[in-house]
Amino acid sequence: MVDSTNVDPFDQMPIIHIENDIDYHYLVEKALRLASIRNPVRFFTNGQQALAYLQTTNEVPLVILCDIIMPGMDGFELRDRIDADPVLRLKAIPFVYFSTWSTKELVEKAYQGTIQGYHLKGERFADLQAELLLIVAYWKRCLHLRSFQ
């Protein structure tokens, strides 16, 4: 999908990154830029901030990358609140858990909700970059409701 100025509209859609560790915000931003991913990134340190943004913005994000364990509203509660909001649900924003670790119990709990993936950030910067590139490339190519707007 390319417009008349040869700019892919999916490159204009923000990536939402929800993570309470501020250092990861910097690493994610750096990894995306080094991978030539031009999307704007909206950073939030907790679920409450992200939910408030999602409920008030006119932007339709490309994808939500959300940590699970965070103070206040964790990733599970955020996902449930998005699912319960009819307006947000219809925006069909892909929701991907993006965490530093996993257990069988966490993954099982994650897939009890409506999610589109559970990815590990990896132990090295190159792993983080590879995961981000994979996730973003997939959602830019995947057909979804926003493809017809």
Among residues 106, 114, 119, the alpha carbon closest in space to that of 80 is found at 114
* Residues 72-85 pLDDT 10s: 999 999 999 999 99
Q: Which fold has domain 19-142?
A: Rossmann fold (3.40.50)
**Hey, where are the domains in the chain?**
19-142
Residues facing 120 on adjacent strands = 99
Distance CA(12)–CA(39), nearest Å, equals 5
Predicted local confidence at residue 17, as pLDDT: 98
Please say whether the beta carbons of 18 and 67 come within 8 A: yes
Residues of the chain with pLDDT under 50: 1-4
SS3 95: strand
* Res 85: pLDDT: 97
